[in-house]
Amino acid sequence: MSVTLIPVKPLAPFGNVYSRIMDLRNALYDRGIFKSYSLGVRTISIGNLTTGGTGKTPLVALVAQILAKKGEKVCVLTRGYGRANSKGRVLVSDGERVLADAATGGDEPVELAEKLLGKAVVVADVDRVGAAKWAKEKFEVTMFLLDDGFQHRRVRRDLDIVCVDATQGLNGMLPAGRLRERAENLQRADVVVITRADLVESIEHLRSQISNYAPSASVFSAENAISNITPLEEYHSKSDTKPNRDLDQAWAKLRGEGQPDDPDNERRVLAFCALGNPENFFLLLVGKFDEMEEFDLSVVKAFPDHHSYNQHDIDDLQKQARELRIDAFVTTAKDAVKLRDLKFEIPCYVVEIVPRIDDEAGFHEIIISS
């Protein structure tokens, strides 16, 4: 039995068909044939032009934190990809407690709920108009955030923020490329954030493209930064019992308490994740580890996006780790929410990531005044 691999170019005609379908859908919304609904309070959408990970989730968390600090009662509305009942409504967090696990609420909604305890309600529902009405009545919401909302035109928004991954750029339409709709549709965006700008040599060409497509949009760039490194068991503990460890202490914890502070005594690390764009997580670690000269990123393992881990997955990782004399695992917060009930014999650490905006004050002003 032979298997024939289909090259990318023959898929291009399907991209043209997909593009026309999306153009028709957008035209129906633009002309009012398809109706958009107000959620009754200010609404900000944070979305993508492409499939796969663009660093959107940390940006959603950042915007929610900005608004909560201003005194808004924030609710994040998300579809919740990968959850067991994709059509049901799940209250992932009431703002004070995380009420769902990743299987029920979806990995990214639970990740957001963990990040935003005390700052935002999180609701997973395909029907975001219905979910908003329910949440507004139940929690007296004053601000909605649409997670992955750029294509969700059924909801009106006061501000449209679009993430463009610097490492991916604006390539072809699905299925040959990764664009969900034509790059020209960036003209709907009010704000464009070029994410992972630190992982490419230059963003000037991309910035120029974006300005051509969306001349009235405010364009920012963002770098991913590691904000914390937490042992998995501590990450899963209640937020009020987590130790208040600064980042230097966190790195020391990963290096191993009692280990000599010696560059020649590198800690061998295996990184794993189930992200839409796992290479960017690995590149972030490589850059940081090279800078510190205390860690050796020996092996990386990428699972499919939204992968639901089981004990067999972890046992396989640990078997490989023992053979390679690995000292520790590292993974992401999105992955950590799916590892709660799994057993690790080799220490596992959760790397938490935040975006660093180039013009932080300007970005904050747009969010607050939208």
Sorted by where each starts, the structural domains of the chain and their CATH numbers stand as 9-225+357-369 (3.40.50.300), 226-353 (3.40.50)
Given a contact cutoff of 8 angstroms between Cβ atoms, the answer to whether 52 and 305 are in contact is yes
353-365: buried (b, 16+ CB within 10 Å) or exposed (e) per residue? bbbebeeeeebbe
The number of C-alpha atoms within 13 Å of 239 and in the hemisphere containing its C-beta is 11
Task: Give the pLDDT band of residue 258 (cuts 50, 70, 90).
Answer: very low
- For position 247, what pLDDT does the model report? 66
Tell me the pLDDT tens digit for each residue of 205-245: 999 999 999 999 999 999 999 999 999 999 988 544 454 45
* Cβ-contact 50, 192 below 8 angstroms: no
User: Over the chain, what is the mean pLDDT?
Assistant: 89
- Band (pLDDT 50/70/90 cuts) for residue 13 is low
- C-alpha distances (whole Å) from 185 to each of 148, 232, 289 are 15, 41, 38
Looking at residue 2, its pLDDT comes to: 38
| Percent residues over pLDDT 90 in the chain | 71
pLDDT at 263: 53
pTM for the model: 0.89
Give CB contacts under 8 A, 24+ apart, made by 24-30.
Answer: 25/153, 26/153, 26/181, 26/185, 29/153
